[in-house]
Amino acid sequence: MRILVTGAAGFIGYSLAESLLARDHEVVGWDNLNDYYSVALKEARLARLARHAGFRFEKIDVADAAAVGSGYAHIRADATVHLAAQAGVRYSIQHPEAYVQANLVGFANMLEAVRATPTKHFVFASTSSVYGLGKQLPFAEDMDTDHPMSFYTATKKANEVMAHSYAHLYGIPTTGLRFFTVYGPWGRPDMALFKFTKAILADETLPVFNHGKMVRDFTYIGDIVEGIARVIDSPPAANPAWDALHPGSATSSAPYRIFNIGNNHRVELMTYIRAIEAAVGKPAKLELLPMQAGDVEATEADVSRLAAAVGFRPATSVEDGVARFVAWYRDYHGV
């Protein structure tokens, strides 16, 4: 297939594109290469993708409606995976305008492009953060998501309902994926694993929020990519029998569904830090701090719907995944 991957220079986008190319798909990658974090890292990812004959890169900002419309019509993608977004919970507190442009305006532009030039499957990224103030673990797709704790999360929740309206109105086969704390090689420098590894190697102090009393469903990038690849091959159909009072496993009567992609295993933050210490080979210096605004104490994914639909459950252990990241980090940075 010819597959468009937006955010192709990003962590998940790059990893997905590389996997799809290895499966002999043709991949068109879009990215605006913004400077939210190291552009050099993004360019290094693209350089690796450029070695594949089936890859083509186009520098496009999804907030540019004209560029998205004309560019998408030209590609004629069999499937579209929309990952381009402004990421980061804490950054959204200081810079909400960036999330309006990338996550709301950009998402609307993508929906309009898919409406005008149909695709067999529109897959988009959401986040486990949509569960917000929810306390009951594990999180399941039919739980309440009406209480976001950050503006970033609010934009992702908006993406889900925006996509549903287009799936309902225009019959666009659409799948939203709620990612749970993704980590692994080629990860983002603003994420905990990258920061912690860098600090331990440099003998710097690690800021550990909520005094380390947090739990996360850490999901290895290889598992995320495998889940997305299987979802691409399984577009949803309309379900006229769906009943909002008795929804069962379906998300809607429209050709629309939501899946969690997580490891289905809660890990304490301190256990995660111990895995990093073991992989690096030296202890961390910890500074225990209060909880940060917009953060949540615990996440865990119920992935039974994903498993039933595509026959896959993420299963990479934190110890194995962290060791792979640290090996990549040492190699990439020459440490």
Is residue 329 part of the annotated active site? The answer reads no
pLDDT digit string, tens, across residues 197-243: 999 999 999 888 888 888 899 999 999 999 999 999 999 999 888 88
Q: Which of 4-18, 96-110, 124-138 shows the lowest mean pLDDT across its residues?
A: 124-138
pLDDT digit string, tens, across residues 149-186: 999 999 999 999 999 999 999 999 999 999 999 999 99
Catalytic residue among 91, 152, 256, 329: 152
Mean pLDDT of the chain: 94
What is the sign of the dihedral through the CA atoms of 180, 183, 184 and 186?
Answer: positive
C-beta of residue 68 within 8 angstroms of C-beta of residue 110: yes
Quote the number of domains for the chain: 1
User: What integer is the mean pLDDT of 305-333?
Assistant: 96
Model pTM score? 0.95
Instruction: Give one DSSP letter per residue of 25-61, joined into a string.
Output: -EEEEEE---SSS-HHHHHHHHHHHHTSTTEEEEE--
What is the sign of the dihedral through the CA atoms of 143, 149, 150 and 151?
Answer: positive
The per-residue pLDDT for 294 is 67
Alpha helix (H) residue ranges in 171-268: 192-201, 221-232
Whether residue 295 is predicted with pLDDT greater than 70 in this model: the reply is yes
The per-residue pLDDT for 293 is 75
CA 310 distance to own-chain centroid: 18
Nearest alpha-carbon partner for 192 in 175, 216, 176: 216
Q: Which of 82-96, 164-178, 245-259 shows the lowest mean pLDDT across its residues?
A: 245-259
C-beta of residue 145 within 8 angstroms of C-beta of residue 130: yes
CATH number at 79 reads: 3.40.50.720
Nearest alpha-carbon partner for 108 in 76, 140, 135, 82: 82
d(CA 280, CA 43): 26
d(CA 95, CA 29): 26
The per-residue pLDDT for 59 is 98
Nearest alpha-carbon partner for 55 in 32, 26, 31, 33: 26
Angle 304-307-311 from CA coordinates, rounded to 5° = 165
Q: Record the tokens describing residue 274, joined without a space.
A: 């111990």
Could you tell me the residue range of the domain that residue 172 belongs to?
2-333
The per-residue pLDDT for 251 is 82
Whether residue 56 is predicted with pLDDT greater than 80 in this model: the reply is yes
Q: Is cis: bond before 189, omega within 30 of 0?
A: no
pLDDT digit string, tens, across residues 127-149: 999 999 888 999 999 999 999 99
d(CA 27, CA 52): 9
